[in-house]
Amino acid sequence: SQTIHQWPATLVQPVGSPLSLECTVEGTSNPNLYWYRQAAGRGLQLLFYSVGIGQISSEVPQNLSASRPQDRQFILSSKKLLLSDSGFYLCASKGQGVSGYTFGSGTRLTVV
Amino acid sequence: DAKTTQPPSMDCAEGRAANLPCNHSTISGNEYVYWYRQIHSQGPQYIIHGLKNNETNEMASLIITEDRKSSTLILPHATLRDTAVYYCIVRANAGNNRKLIWGLGTSLAVNP
């Protein structure tokens, strides 16, 4: 079965600082990978998805970027954080032949 | 916008069955119904999915109406650990539609 490692669990960053969140996947190969953000009391919003190494699709205009340097590694980045980037960030994977999506435990980002 | 509507909250007594409804009146013929749940401050967890037949696994049962415009997730013997937000999502399993569009879900409170 798939396992997603996502870190850190919590992060407090000042406005204007850079961001790098990493997600790694075990137990599958060539998965589709996703970054979601969840604001307090809201549903999940898809930010990026990737169907393979170096292939990134952005769903909404934003201050963030994503990269997939390896098959099972997905990185979410920002050069300069904004207050509005605060939220709960979740990495998800859907492996080949797997019914549902597997989610990581999330990173709660607070930009101050 | 989410293609499903769910009641914002429900209560259930511990040990009783929890029946969570979902309306998806615009569902397409190739779209499956997925259910996930999210325990506070954790990543969502896949529960079950189905196309048109009723489904059962170790976690829950999924009842889909004959016209597929609505479904019900059944937790047969709810426990306190089942307290979570439950999301009903429709999604095609093939093609370029790889996105899950998340609504606000149903917040289920299981009471002792």
CA B25, CA B44: separation in Å to the nearest integer?
24
Beta bridge partners of B73: B20, B62
- Write the residue in A45, A49, A105 that is nearest to B43 by C-beta: A105
Among A44, A57, A91, A105, the strongest candidate for a mutation testing the B interface, having the largest count of B CBs within 10 A, is A44
Select from B88, B100, B104, B106 the residue whose CB has the most chain A CBs within 10 Å, as the one to mutate to test that interface: B100
- Note whether B36 contacts A88, CB cutoff 8 Å: no
Instruction: Mention every residue, 6+ apart, whose C-beta is less than 8 A from residue A79.
Output: A18
Q: Is the peptide bond preceding residue A8 cis, with omega within 30 degrees of 0?
A: yes
Q: Mean pLDDT per segment of 10 residues, for chain A of length 112 residues?
A: 90 97 92 90 87 89 90 96 94 81 94 96
Q: What is the pLDDT of residue B95?
A: 54
Q: How far apart are CA A50 and CA B14, in angstroms?
A: 41
Give dist(CA A49, CA B84) in Å, integer: 26
Q: Nearest residue on chain A to B34, judged by CA atoms?
A: A100
Query: How confident is the model over B6-40, as pLDDT tens digits?
Result: 999 999 999 999 999 999 999 988 889 999 999 98
Chain-wide mean pLDDT for chain B? 90
Which residue in chain B is spatially nearest to A97 when comparing CA positions?
A: B93
* pLDDT band with cut points at 50, 70 and 90 for residue B50: very high
Phi, psi of A71 (to 5 degrees): -55, -40
Question: If we measure between CA atoms, which residue out of B39, B40, B65, B38 comes closest to residue B51?
Answer: B65
pLDDT mean over B90-99: 64
Which residues touch B52 (CB under 8 Å, ≥6 apart)? B64, B68
In A, minimum Cα distance to B96 occurs at: A51
Rounded to the nearest angstrom, the minimum Cα separation between B100 and chain A is 8
A97 touches chain B (CB under 8 A): no
The Cα of A58 is separated from the nearest Cα of chain B by a number of Å equal to 12
Q: Please determine, for residue B96, whether its predicted confidence score (pLDDT) is greater than 60.
A: no
